[in-house]
Amino acid sequence: MTIIVTHDAYQTIAGIQQLPPSITELCGCKNEKIAFQVYLEGMKGILTAAREKIFVPELEQPLYRVEISSDCPEVVGEAFIEGYIPDDDNRLVADRVSRETYTTFSQYQPGVIFAEYAIPKNFSKNQFTVTVIVYHSLLFSDEELIFTQELSVNVLDYTLPDPKDYTMFLDIWQHSSNVARQFGVPLWSDRHFQLLENVIASLADLGQKSIMIVASDCPWCGWGTAIGSKDGSNFYEYSMIDAIKDTEGKLTCDFRNMQRYIDLCKNYAINGEIALYGLLGVWNRDGFPRNEITDYSENISVRYFDEADQTFKYMKTAEELIAYFSCIVTYFKETHQFEQLKIATDEPEIKDVESVNAFKVLINEFKAIAPTIKIKMAIDREIAISHFIDDLDTITLSFPCITKHIAINKQQTEKHYLWYVCNIPDKPNTLVKNQLVEARVLGILNSLFDFDGLTRWAYCAWTANPREDIRYEIHGFPTGDFSLVYPAKNGEIERSLRVIQLKKGIIDYELLTRLKQVTDESDLTLYYNQIALNQDPQSYMMDKRHTKPNLYSTNYEDYEQLRQAVIKELIVHSLREAVK
């Protein structure tokens, strides 16, 4: 049996025999969770970090129990089982930080525990010790101690901000309909909102700023569900707004579900914007029958209940749609939320001057209702940048676009500038095929780009059985593109190792931003050099989908050294200010 305590960015892949590096110390701040992994490789067995009794069908299997403890009662620790999922090459990769009680492991599929300790804001010591113990037992036999190791945790005298106070504008999309579908509960029911609260709480822990509202049915055509779902996976999104026509044909809207969702997000300090999707730039995809509208250039699917004949129908005319748009705008104005509202569109099909002009007509439909309404656009085509920058409040550029237009945020500084990774580029990204530090580097890149924040299109767009397999059949969506977290069987949210590293990158960004405020920005070059970061974004792309090699280090230690160097400089600056 091989047992190794290693860092939190090591990615275990079944069948890959390279052993992880062993660590004996960690470094953290106040108000931070420090983490590590316990890696076990050997003959077949059962792994647990729980104290409860475990009997499994194969009673002869040995049980290995991992116990973690610290010498400071105020530092609270938790241990989780890591679950495997298949990647694009059918390799089993440890990614799911599971709340399950136990797992089985073998010589070719190691067992891994993810452990973390929360250092309080008011922690007074500069060091504490974590002890890792592993016990072995057989059925009805006494446990035998087979491994023990101490980790020294150095605590820097610096307090990290709470996630609600992060300055990065984090815009991770929420697929609320998928949550109801995954757990088999009625859409917008009390139970659905209980499950949504778990999603929202996990997003708040990352520092999420954007509230996502869907105001029509299937604006993304289900991302190919109609033609590519071979296992029952379903990615259709439904409107949060109920439209009703009375017996006289007058349109009204019931906004209670939408407002309940907005209030839920705001209860968790997610209140940077209300991004309303589904009314501008809806997608058209082969194999998906769209709602045909006779006199409007977009086939927006808005269902309403007709009280005259007690049936559900879909709006078929521009007049109906404009009335619906007006109803939404009026509601946001009357509830004093209009300033937060942004009509959002995702990668609209803009490819030539004709499509540019047609899309401007659509934007003007909203401007005619409310001249000061804000428009937010995710852009993956360069032609859209120059033609629409004046129309937009928020410009969200794909990674390939931002590398070509890195100075766009200097043109009109009153606007908001975000960028995103999705199924491209191949790296850096948060896909299962990426090394874990490639999720972390995104935060540092946002510091280099000097943009307001980061967008990721999918957080909980789960496949039919995401605890076992998050691959999607449609070509072009690599494993991990659809989700950053997992649904636990009890409705809680289980993190991925990828999203844990993404949060570390967000914290890196927060620290670098603070450093920018107290130093000359040119000084940050020294810190970027710690991770061998190529500081010329315009040189990043090799082609439309792939970046060049060696743009940044993939060595975990380099990122830890950057973090510590930034914090130590911030501490020095704070001490200087204190003696002035």
For residue 520, pLDDT over 80 is answered with: no
d(C-alpha 68, C-alpha 51), whole Å: 11
Dihedral angle sign, alpha carbons of residues 269, 274, 276, 277: negative
In this predicted structure, what is the pLDDT of residue 18?
A: 86
Tokens of 555: 């060595």
pTM of the model: 0.97
SS3 of 429-450: the string is CCCCCCCCHHHHHHHHHHHHHC
Instruction: Give me 337's structure tokens.
Output: 């939320």
Three-state secondary structure call for residue 417: strand
Fold of 163-421: TIM Barrel (3.20.20)
The whole-angstrom separation of Cα 369 and Cα 394 is 20
184-198, 399-413, 517-531 — which is least confidently predicted?
Answer: 517-531
C-alpha to C-alpha distance for 228 and 473, rounded to whole angstroms: 6
Considering only CA atoms, which of 222, 240, 333, 249 is closest in space to residue 279? Answer: 240
Query: How much of the chain, in percent, has pLDDT values that exceed 90?
Result: 90
pLDDT band for position 57 (cuts 50, 70, 90):
confident
Distance CA 451, CA 396 (A): 10
Mean pLDDT of 45-74: 92
User: Which structure tokens are listed for 210?
Assistant: 């954007």
CB 289 within 8 A of CB 225: no
Q: Locate 272 and state its tokens.
A: 């940077």
CATH architecture type of domain 2-159: Sandwich (2.60)
Distance separating alpha carbons of residues 509 and 512, to the nearest angstrom:
5
The dihedrals phi and psi of 192, each to the nearest 5 degrees, come to -60, -45
Question: What is d(CA 308, CA 117) in angstroms, rounded to the nearest whole number?
Answer: 60
Q: What is the pLDDT of residues 230-242, one digit of tens each?
A: 788 899 999 999 9
Domain boundaries, the chain: 2-159, 163-421, 423-456+488-579
Dihedrals phi, psi of 92, to nearest 5 degrees: -90, 120
Looking at residue 366, its pLDDT comes to 97
Calculate mean pLDDT across residues 269-292.
94
For helices 556-578 and 437-449, what crossing angle results, to 10°? 40
CA angle 245, 246, 248 (to 5 degrees): 110
How many angstroms separate the CA atoms of 362 and 355, rounded?
11
Predicted pLDDT of residue 519:
84
The DSSP bridge partners found for residue 375 are 343
Exposed e or buried b per residue across 389-414, where buried means at least 16 C-beta atoms within 10 angstroms of its C-beta:
beebbbbbbbbbbbbebbebbeeeee
Separation between Cα atoms, residue 312 and residue 307, nearest integer Å = 9
Q: How far lies 289's CA from each of 138, 177, 284, in Å?
A: 59, 20, 9
Say yes or no: do domains 2-159 and 163-421 share a fold: no
